[in-house]
Structure 1
Amino acid sequence: MGLLSLGTPLHWKDAKGYADHVRRNGIEQFLNIYRHVKDRQRDRLRWGDEIEYMVISYDHENRNARLSLRVFEILEVLQREENEAQGDPEKMAKLKTAWRPEYGRFMIEGTPGVPYDGDLSSLLKVESNMKLRRALVQAQLRPNEAIVCITSFPRLGTLGVFLDPHHEPNGDACRSLFTPDEIINPHARFPTLTANIRRRRGAKVAINMPVFHDVNTPRPFHDPTIPVHRGLFPEDEEAAAGAALPDHIYMDAMVFGMGCACLQITFQACNINEARRLYDQMAPIGPIMLALTAAAPIFRGYLADVDCRWNVIAQSVDDRPREERGLEPLKDSRFVINKSRYDSIDCYISTDSQLRPEYNDLDLVYDKDICQRLMDNGVDELLARHVAHLFIRDPLVIFRELVDQDNTVSSDHFENLQSTNWQTMRFKPPPPNSDIGWRVEFRSMEIQMTDFENAAFAIFVVLLTRAMLSFGLNFYIPVSKMDENMRRAHRRDAARTEKFYFRKQVMTTPGDKLGPVEDEYELMTIDEIFNGKADGSFPGLIPIVNSYLNSINMDVETGCHLSRYLGLVRARANGSLITTASWIRQFVQKHPAYKHDSVVSQEINYDLVRAMDEIGRGERAVPELLGNFA
């Protein structure tokens, strides 16, 4: 959940006139924070997870699973304890859960009430806290409602009824052919963000995911359900004019991306240098974890030829006009920008001696004036370039009442741009005048159906960061190879069929002789990356984590608990257990109503969502997905 401010949001034609003002003052706010806390040391190693849930409303009579738009009624109850504890540190410290809205009005974000400590015992609380969150939401639901962990709701934007209550897609904010504005979080930030992305781009967002060609899928595939000549808004003709690509599933609204759910982990580091190191070293892990947690093979009622959500979100918030996309010469825009606001990182930022200049091999687009201003005020070049790269974007939502701020106590202008650069990793400076330290957010993973799975992947990532810091691990590969890994991670069944660029030697020392960067990495399978190579040339991430656990004299009980979680990750990596995306795909293809034409009908979706609901509550056995671990 990004920055939520109260006030009067400006239409893009007015907001764009304040873009330089926000950038200028946002940099001043960052510098004030940097000067104040750049030398801060010995913050506690803490972390927390974020899980995004969807609330489902069943129409059993018509065999229909719909997205419930009743979430804000539920949130009012869930947030009551937290709201009552505000201003009382003792009560705040005892909170077990915390709740936030998300972009979709059918989504709820749940986190631990307070961050977990860095000790191993905290890891044993993760799954039980996730179960508590699920139970607290479930207690507020009606008999026909359920809380389900779904990365992408399969029938979002289809013909027919997929919302409860139903609304026609005729809203002015997104002007979508498929989804109504009522699906969007009603806070002023979200419809304004949606509309201003469209206004700045000069067209609706155009999301195209390759369709899965089954035996009865037409070739070429042209979606017959797109109302190409609706004629309600000027943008309605875009689909017929080429925005909808043949052999692709076409979507045209921000909710198709930002309505996806994920599992994110945020770490608080001991100091700024450790945070920068965590940012760099975990970045190459992002695409690998995306492939391993893949859980999104269906969009707008069609089986896709991809397994992940990431590119859908990237396209759903792509506000670049044609000039910034390199389709026309620069005239009104400042830069040609090669990626959406939501994408993989573009540069490493650590002060670590392991970072070779050759790893930052992209031609980074950044605001050179901002970079120089940061450097003139004591920020080193790597971090200055990173911030100046974020600030090539325009602020999309500006509140009239917050245009002028006290830069010594506010970070709203900085966060306006920081929070709308959605990358695989996020480097997070402390809020002004707070006891929160330097943080790093790991953002690539997809949500899993069960609390056990989500706990397993969260715990693995946490343990990997501890092993990385303890052993001084080196995961650096060129940024361009990370981008290639992101592309590979999306492919169908990538966890079992693809190879990914990964570093050959992760145990390095500053005195090692350096050769060509190209000799430092190679293509490996997910199994080899996680479990090691058969010839012993690469140890594997899980054996490294186990070595770390052995080095700290872990007690037997904790070891038994953690081995279950690591066992699931190991089995998913070696292919003995399938990914969530593969399970969903197989469920659809085996359904008696499936016609092998890529169409996921209302009936199939009803049975699929109910099965996912049952799995999430532990009422349905799926040994091909969970084995004997859960």
Structure 2
Amino acid sequence: MVEGTPGKPYGGLLAHFNVVEANMRYRREEAAALLQPGEVLMSITSFPRLGCPGFTDPFHKPTPTEGSSQSLFLPDDVIFPGHPRFKTLTRNIRERRGEKVAINLPVFKDKNTPSPYVEDLSQYGDDGTSQSAALPDHVYLDAMGFGMGCCCLQVTFQACNINEARTLYDQLTPLCPILLALTAASPVHRGMLTDVDCRWNVISGSVDCRTRQERGLEPIPTGSGVRRIAKSRYDSIDSYLSRDGEKYNDVPLVMDENAYKQMIDAGIDPLLAQHIAHLFIRDSVSLFSEKVDQDDEHDTDHFENIQSTNWQTMRFKPPPPYSPIGWRVEFRPCEAQLTDFENAAIVCFVVLLTRTILSFKLNMLIPISKVDENMQKAQLRDAAKTQKFWFRKNITTGDSPSCCQSPTNCKPDGEYTQMTLDEIINGKEGEFPGLIPLVHNYLSNMDVDADSHCTIQQYLNLIQKRAAGKLLTTACWIRNQVVNHPEYKFDSIVSDHINYDLLKTMQEIQAGIRPCPELLGQNIITKTRDQVPETLVKAERC
């Protein structure tokens, strides 16, 4: 698994939208040049047969009674050996939790799938512990690698100041489940078709280091200092940061009270103080001995240690010390798509949304509890077509109803309703403008050169058609490939042969060898670095 990022941040010109895909392609080419014959670099959210017998080359056998993960399915050999962080995280999360992580995904029930579907885990060397943690009619996963072995598409924005960063953090939060459903790309786990399309709960469970007491499964002794914690350290956010978002913070927030008091005493406002104090309910799960003694007046390693292991849908990123980098916001829910075209389309759409939000002062805010509900809906099979999501009715005004003069008494039930993905993205005549039409409205007021206009238009067309159901999500396309394979036995099993043919087809699509109009549409731009203005190429690749 390789993480790729641009060599330096993109600029603020609309012309830079014309460079994103070329930059992604260039990085893919750089990595691919190092591969051996028979190896290919693929942009996928999850390897469908991760954890199946013989899924590694060379073959490695899991060690369920020893090692970092003690997994029935994942050998420790799949963990990168060159840096101690990864095995340390795996071991520490398991040890802090007091047992192996347990991830249960509902199995996709086809006509020949056993009912109930119950797997005999003793064949993998289970001593009964995993069998008791595995749920009937679910696919069971037992290691951090199943979640952190997934890939995603993340976008970080530079804000002009802390207030703009807080606004972007809040306004993008309700869009996280919407973009998760739109980019759904992972319906197969451990060689089984599941009834979910996204990776999110897999990763959430894979790094869930909460003890049984913290999860509410055992009573907490009086005076122990142990807290009940509602979510894993990888999950959706629990509170808004801006004053506008305060009234929608309807989920009880567990905080480190000492950290909260320290920040309040230092003049930090309550909304930001509670956000940081909420991060610090988590223990460190990876800390190097040479980093223990730090001068916190001049170094932020202790903060970043906690911040970087709270993996949430949004991340609020303060400026590093002694750096020109300012306040940033990271948008983290999207799944990785097959092609550079799709990934660039998602990135550019989200960036255009941020500019539209700030330019038109849009208000996307709904209660945090409704965002949480949407996050679960977004992961369901074919959610992009079948589910309705809570969304704000009138996003073009920031006005609050009269009941909201006091945030503590506010019950803004009439401000939001349930909409389809199509209605949210493309609009509903007379009722909701739609995000794409608002982006077009923003662009109509900008000076856009012809080349950039063509690029942006094709990106937005992809988003528009996928939201309308005219193009498939990657997850839906993968599911169709599996169930229509001649060797599929309608038993939910994705065999080695099916998996190979699936990945071969995916590789041919991303290489441009095989057209795939049901996934990509007809008009696809595939810019190479030769088509990008040389001045921009140098700026992006230094």
In the alignment, which of 126, 134, 137 is matched to residue 28 of structure 2?
134
Q: Aligned to 1:227, what secondary structure does the other structure show? A: helix
Cα-Cα RMSD:
1.3
CA distances 1:419-459 after superposition (whole Å, capped 9, x unpaired): 01000000011111111111110000000000000000000
Distance 2:246 2:34 in 1: 53
Code of the residue aligned with 2:217 in structure 1: it is L
In the alignment, which of 352, 355, 375 is matched to residue 245 of structure 2?
355
Code of the residue aligned with 1:169 in structure 2: it is P
**1:243 match:** 133
CA distances 1:262-311 after superposition (whole Å, capped 9, x unpaired): 00000110011111111000000000000000000000000000000000
Code of the residue aligned with 1:263 in structure 2: it is L
- Deviation at residue 344 of structure 1 after TM alignment: 0.4
Q: Aligned to 1:185, what secondary structure does the other structure show? A: coil
Equivalences for residues 43-82 of structure 1 within 5 A: none
Q: Aligned to 2:5, what secondary structure does the other structure show? A: strand
Matched, 1:176 2:71: yes
Q: Contact 2:18–2:451 (CA<8 Å) still a contact in 1?
A: no
In the alignment, which of 432, 452, 455 is matched to residue 558 of structure 1?
452
CA distances 1:296-327 after superposition (whole Å, capped 9, x unpaired): 00000000000000000000000001000011
Distance 2:402 2:464 in 1: 33
In the alignment, which of 100, 103, 112 is matched to residue 216 of structure 1?
112
* Unpaired segments ≥5 residues, structure 1: 1-106
In the alignment, which of 380, 387, 399 is matched to residue 269 of structure 2?
380
Code of the residue aligned with 2:234 in structure 1: it is Y
Matched, 1:189 2:85: yes
- Deviation at residue 511 of structure 1 after TM alignment: 7.6
Q: Contact 1:194–1:254 (CA<8 Å) still a contact in 2?
A: yes
Q: Contact 2:313–2:332 (CA<8 Å) still a contact in 1?
A: yes
Aligned residue pairs total 513
Code of the residue aligned with 2:75 in structure 1: it is P
In the alignment, which of 207, 212, 226 is matched to residue 334 of structure 1?
226
Code of the residue aligned with 1:518 in structure 2: it is D
Q: Aligned to 2:41, what secondary structure does the other structure show? A: strand
Distance 1:143 1:501 in 2: 49
Distance 1:558 1:150 in 2: 27
In the alignment, which of 527, 546, 560 is matched to residue 440 of structure 2?
546
Distance 2:80 2:11 in 1: 32
TM-score by length of 1: 0.80
Equivalences for residues 409-488 of structure 1 within 5 A: 409-488=298-377
**1:346 match:** 238
CA distances 1:455-507 after superposition (whole Å, capped 9, x unpaired): 00000000000000111010000000000000100110000110000000011
Equivalences for residues 149-298 of structure 1 within 5 A: 149-159=43-53, 161-170=54-63, 172-186=67-81, 187-224=83-120, 226-227=121-122, 230=125, 236-240=127-131, 242-298=132-188
Q: Contact 2:256–2:280 (CA<8 Å) still a contact in 1?
A: yes
Equivalences for residues 83-94 of structure 1 within 5 A: none
Code of the residue aligned with 1:419 in structure 2: it is S
Q: Contact 1:210–1:304 (CA<8 Å) still a contact in 2?
A: yes
Q: Contact 2:240–2:246 (CA<8 Å) still a contact in 1?
A: no
**2:523 match:** 629
Code of the residue aligned with 1:484 in structure 2: it is E
Q: Contact 2:362–2:398 (CA<8 Å) still a contact in 1?
A: no
**1:33 match:** none
Per mean C-alpha deviation after superposition, the further-off stretch among 340-349 and 360-369 is 360-369
Q: Contact 1:448–1:454 (CA<8 Å) still a contact in 2?
A: yes
Q: Identity across aligned pairs (percent)?
A: 58
Code of the residue aligned with 1:507 in structure 2: it is T
Code of the residue aligned with 2:71 in structure 1: it is S
CA distances 1:126-185 after superposition (whole Å, capped 9, x unpaired): 0001111111111111111000011010000012x2112221111510000001111112
Per mean C-alpha deviation after superposition, the further-off stretch among 509-518 and 126-135 is 509-518
Distance 1:475 1:411 in 2: 32
Q: Contact 1:196–1:396 (CA<8 Å) still a contact in 2?
A: yes
TM-score by length of 2: 0.93
CA distances 1:348-375 after superposition (whole Å, capped 9, x unpaired): 0013xx3352x10001111122111101
Q: Aligned to 1:148, what secondary structure does the other structure show? A: coil
Distance 1:486 1:252 in 2: 22
Distance 1:360 1:195 in 2: 34
Q: Aligned to 2:2, what secondary structure does the other structure show? A: strand
- Deviation at residue 509 of structure 1 after TM alignment: 4.0
**2:467 match:** 573
Distance 2:454 2:480 in 1: 32
Q: Contact 1:471–1:507 (CA<8 Å) still a contact in 2?
A: yes
**1:82 match:** none
Distance 1:127 1:402 in 2: 38
**2:254 match:** 365
Q: Aligned to 1:595, what secondary structure does the other structure show? A: coil
Q: Contact 1:267–1:439 (CA<8 Å) still a contact in 2?
A: yes
Code of the residue aligned with 2:513 in structure 1: it is E
Distance 2:375 2:345 in 1: 22
Q: Contact 1:229–1:237 (CA<8 Å) still a contact in 2?
A: no
Equivalences for residues 485-564 of structure 1 within 5 A: 485-510=374-399, 516-534=411-429, 536-564=430-458
Code of the residue aligned with 1:412 in structure 2: it is D
- Deviation at residue 412 of structure 1 after TM alignment: 1.1
CA distances 1:546-568 after superposition (whole Å, capped 9, x unpaired): 00001123233321221000000
